[in-house]
Amino acid sequence: MNPLIKQLKKYGNLAPEIEAELHGKIKILKKHKGDFLLKKGQIISNLFVIEIGLVRSFYQTAQREINLWFGFENTILGSVIPLYFNQPSIENIQFLEDTILYYISQDDLESFYKSSQEMNTIRRKIAEEYCAILEERSFTLQTQTADQRYHWFLKNQPEALQRISLGHISSYLGISQETLSRVRKK
């Protein structure tokens, strides 16, 4: 089954005719480690799902990169500002591994949202889940110790240590690499 359709179905039912129409609109993208899906200032308004691979989202400041999230297999992703508001991105999305993605354009999604109550429900449920993830991440960064953040990360993304550099992980957790090393030794 198409990975994007499979993920959409986790949020609600799709009538066979809607599923068939989706198949005709979904495209495949293959990228190499180090390539970018999106750079700050670009507008790419597609909804993606990762079949194979790994991506990271980050902000670039004059002093450093700040990792926001990581996307693994079966992750639905897209940059929110370009996707929903058709404005330039404030984040970068980069491939950490060779990656295969399936995607659909925002224009095609909007057509489905207008014609299908099922797709509208799926969109709402994806947005609700995204809001919950953001709230939990904000809470974790603002209220928990480095040790608590690290254990939260391991619980939520256990495969990350084998696939993501410690520098990226420490940035994501909002701690220095030295602090991460001390936490990991405990």
For 97-147, the DSSP string reads S-EEEEEEEHHHHHHHHHH-HHHHHHHHHHHHHHHHHHHHHHHHHHHS-HH
Q: What is the pLDDT of residue 141?
A: 93
Residues in the chain: 186
Predicted confidence (pLDDT) per residue in 132-174, tens digit = 999 999 999 999 999 999 999 999 888 898 999 999 999 999 9
Predicted confidence (pLDDT) per residue in 15-37, tens digit = 999 999 999 999 999 999 999 99
> CB neighbours of 10 closer than 8 A, spacing ≥ 6?
none
3-class secondary-structure state, position 74: coil
The model scores a pTM over 0.85 = yes
Find out if CATH 2.60.120.10 is the number for domain 3-114: yes
Residue 88 has pLDDT above 90, yes or no: yes
Please report, for the chain, the start and end positions of each structural domain, with discontinuous segments joined by +: 3-114
Maximum Cα interatomic distance, the chain, rounded to a whole number of Å: 55
In which band, very low, low, confident or very high, does the pLDDT at 83 lie, cut at 50, 70 and 90? Answer: confident
